[in-house]
Amino acid sequence: ITTGSLALGKVGAAYAQAVSAAGGVTPYIWVGTGLPPGLSLSSSGVLSGTPITAGTYVVVIDVIDDSMPSQVAEREFNVPIN
């Protein structure tokens, strides 16, 4: 995962940020846990939505490549929502 950080968000304001990776075999599948309420991570790696609750969230993002067997990379981000 080559994305170093995720942008801060604001309650009630639209949020969108793409996450990127390098290496492995494309296409990638993206999975996120600990997402702020109102946001979702698409399988193509775009975190988007409208945050509904303020706080600092620990978001864990995994990327799974298309090799056999699949390779998985994981990165943890702090995402502040004001």
Segment 17-33, tens digit of pLDDT: 999 999 999 999 999 99
The per-residue pLDDT of the chain, averaged, comes to 97
Bridge partners, residue 80, by sequence: 56
Q: Which amino acid is at 52?
A: I
Report the distance separating Cα 68 and Cα 60, nearest Å: 23
**What's the CA gap between 17 and 79, in Å, rounded?**
12
48, 15 Cβ separation under 8 angstroms: yes
pLDDT of residue 36: 98
Q: Percent of the chain at pLDDT above 70? A: 100
pTM (two decimals): 0.91
Residue 49, φ and ψ in degrees, nearest 5: 135, -165
C-beta of residue 63 within 8 angstroms of C-beta of residue 30: yes
